[in-house]
Chain A
Amino acid sequence: MLGLRVSPRTTPFHQNAAFPKRETLENAGDDDVEKLVAENALIVIGRRGCCMSHVVKRLLLGLGVNPLVYDVDEDREEGVVQELVRINVSGVSGCGSGEKVALPAVYVGGKLFGGLDKVMSTHISGELVPILKEVGALWL
């Protein structure tokens, strides 16, 4: 009942998508954030216990993706967001705009992809899966 069912709608190759081994990072240092973003094809950074973050994770899992998840504690949130803005501005992960990054934030191929809004709209329009395949987060 809590959503861990094998849905017939996922592709056959990912029958086990419902029971993935998910890597969850906790309390990494702020400087590690930059490394995490840069080195992973797909990372979801969210507040610990946040339900929107949970939605993003479940959506990606439902597609057969095994996303890296970084749950941030409430007291660390400010620092992490500042770090994300910094790497955005420096052009490493983003277009250089200094606007605040809202959590949950999804980084695809080292670049800021967006929040739940963005993930939803690109999925409905059919663009999400090709993008994920391109960065190697999803195989077939």
Chain B
Amino acid sequence: MTELPSILPALVFMICLVRFSVPAEGKMNTTSTHFVPPRRVGIYEPLHQIGMWGENFKGNGTLNTPCPIIVPPDPKLDNSEDTSHGTAGTPHRFDQEASTSRHTDKIQRRLAQNREAARKSRLRKKAYVQQLETSRLKLIQLEQELDRARQQGFSIGGGVDAASSLSFSGSMNPGIGAFEMEYGHWVEEQNRQICELRALLHGHASDIELRMLVDNVMKHYFELFRMKSAAAKADVFYVMSGMWKTSAERFFLWIGGFRPSELLKVLLPHLDVLTEQQLLDVCNLRQSCQQAEDALSQGMEKLQQTLAESVAAGQLGEGSYVPQMTSAMERLEALVSFVNQADHLRHETLQQMYRILTTRQAARGLMALGEYFQRLRALSSSWATRQREPA
């Protein structure tokens, strides 16, 4: 009985020797170089990668979780250590080397996949942010345009077709989009010129100053005709329907603009005293303007008639349909000429008024004309507001 206690410590000691000798052996062998680095790598790299993925998690939540990747190496290492206890000798060590090199490969591959996934998600995030930026800019732009349109007195509520067709035409046709932007600036400039005219007329400015302003106002109108000509080439129906104008202006529409005879009716009451010669000239101008207008109107009627005939005659059979469409298309080309001729008439009428009147009279007349259009625009927006209010 007394022998047992003495044997026990020795046994324990021997067991301990066995336990610790082999691992020591293992560590002293080449496996030590295999063992330590992977563990070190296992510890540091995954942690490093957690940090990176943490950032990406903030950006978007579309990542794979890194956790499963970190865990496997450690149990494997533990396992390899356990297996080293039980057995001894070269086969075991060979297993260790093989399993660790396999583990190293797997770890390296996993880490490479991590890096790739992280890179891809960074690129995705970048693209998404860029998209957001451009959308934001576009939104700002649209808001600015809308503000400008509201200032001009566009009927946005009451004239839904006006607002929607504005954006629709603009987005579908770059020529029209450009025209609409230019027209916005044109109206701003016109408003500014009207204020200037008022200031100079009330302020008793010199004739030279007044003349310069009058010349600029005239040039400004001619600039509009040039813009319209370009827009007519892009979309003649847009110009013919006066889509860029406010609803009240469109009520008075004649071949894509104001009637020259209307122009004279608006101008004349504001011209004060006219000489005999001036009176005569003005009368002649009114008459010739009306005659030219009538001739153009009759031409338009003929165009409508022939176009209607072409369209009506078109049969929906093979062969006969296409030729009818081409002749109808040719007639539509004539519309562009009509817009140009109508603008030409407006141009000539303004020019002749300028010749007949003195500088001061012309200034007063142009101011009256500008204010007339301003009032029409204001009327349009008042009407739109009224429409929006509930009864």
- Is there an interface contact between A51 and B284, defined as CB atoms closer than 8 Å? no
- Is there an interface contact between A124 and B294, defined as CB atoms closer than 8 Å? no
Residues of chain A within 8 A (CB-CB) of B297 are 3
Q: Which listed residue (A1, A9, A51, A120) contacts B348, Cβ 8 A?
A: A120
Residues of chain A within 8 A (CB-CB) of B341 are 52, 55, 116-117, 120
- Is there an interface contact between B345 and A58, defined as CB atoms closer than 8 Å? no
Residues of chain A within 8 A (CB-CB) of B296 are 55
- Is there an interface contact between A62 and B299, defined as CB atoms closer than 8 Å? no
Q: How many interface residues does A have (CB within 8 Å)?
A: 25
Interface of A is mostly: helix
A60, closest chain B residue (CB): B295
- Is there an interface contact between B352 and A124, defined as CB atoms closer than 8 Å? yes
- Is there an interface contact between A125 and B348, defined as CB atoms closer than 8 Å? yes
- Is there an interface contact between A58 and B295, defined as CB atoms closer than 8 Å? yes
| Residue A126 lies at the interface, judged by CB distance under 8 Å to chain B | yes
- Is there an interface contact between A124 and B299, defined as CB atoms closer than 8 Å? no
Q: Which listed residue (A1, A56, A124, A128) contacts B285, Cβ 8 A?
A: A124
- Is there an interface contact between A124 and B349, defined as CB atoms closer than 8 Å? yes
Roughly how many angstroms separate A7 CA and B303 CA in the complex, as a whole number? 22
Q: How many interface residues does B have (CB within 8 Å)?
A: 32
Residues of chain A within 8 A (CB-CB) of B331 are 51
Roughly how many angstroms separate A56 CA and B355 CA in the complex, as a whole number? 25
| Residue A49 lies at the interface, judged by CB distance under 8 Å to chain B | yes
**A residues 43-70 touching B (CB-CB < 8 Å):** 49-52, 54-56, 58-59, 62-63
Q: Which listed residue (B281, B334, B351, B352) contacts A52, Cβ 8 A?
A: B334
Which residues of A are interface residues toward B (Cβ below 8 A)? 1-3, 7, 9, 49-52, 54-56, 58-59, 62-63, 116-117, 120-121, 123-126, 128
Which residues of B are interface residues toward A (Cβ below 8 A)? 281, 284-285, 287-292, 294-303, 306, 331, 334, 337-338, 341, 344-345, 348-349, 351-352, 355
What are 30 A-B contacts with C-beta separation under 8 Å? A1-B301, A2-B298, A3-B298, A3-B301, A7-B294, A9-B291, A49-B306, A51-B299, A51-B300, A51-B306, A51-B331, A51-B338, A52-B299, A54-B302, A55-B341, A62-B291, A116-B341, A117-B344, A120-B292, A120-B344, A120-B348, A121-B344, A121-B348, A123-B291, A124-B285, A124-B289, A124-B292, A124-B345, A124-B349, A124-B351
Nearest first, the 7 A-B pairs at minimum CB distance are: A55-B299, A59-B295, A3-B298, A124-B348, A58-B295, A51-B303, A58-B298
